[in-house]
């Protein structure tokens, strides 16, 4: 699994939008709390996302739940800097600056 960054986004409502802006390509996984626990144990888990080359990357949250975002470089070199925004419909909810820790 290697080095990864995660953000606890708290409870998001179905229909909310998560927008991620990054300064380089990276693997992005947006998942529920249960899936995040499985991810940490290296168990099979479901997520929204994949290898993201271009940003902003926007995802519509499919169900109300406690959500996490995980970002990693998949073994590639570099430190990702990103901003995550959550929107409920048209209104901006919150924004935070994030960075993937150096190995």
**Distance of CA 62 to CAs 30, 31, 42, 66, Å?**
11, 10, 24, 12
Per the structure, the complete domain to which residue 50 belongs is given by 4-99
> What per-residue confidence (pLDDT) applies to 95?
58
Contact 62, 32 (CB under 8 A): no
pLDDT score of 102 more than 70: no
The domain tally of the chain equals 1
Q: Express each pLDDT in 27-62 by its tens digit.
A: 999 999 999 999 999 999 999 999 999 889 999 999
Which of 62, 55, 74, 2 has its CA nearest to residue 31? 62
């Amino acid at each position: 699994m290697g080095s990864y960054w995660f953000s606890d986004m708290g409870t998001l409502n179905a229909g909310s939008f998560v927008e991620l802006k990054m300064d380089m390509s990276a693997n992005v996984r947006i998942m529920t709390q249960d899936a995040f626990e499985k991810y940490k144990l290296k168990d099979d888990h479901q997520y929204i996302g994949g290898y993201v080359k271009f940003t902003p990357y926007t995802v519509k949250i499919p169900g109300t739940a406690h959500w996490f975002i995980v970002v990693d470089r998949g073994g590639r070199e570099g430190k990702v800097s990103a901003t995550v925004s959550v929107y409920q419909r048209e209104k901006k909810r919150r924004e935070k600056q994030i960075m993937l820790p150096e190995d």
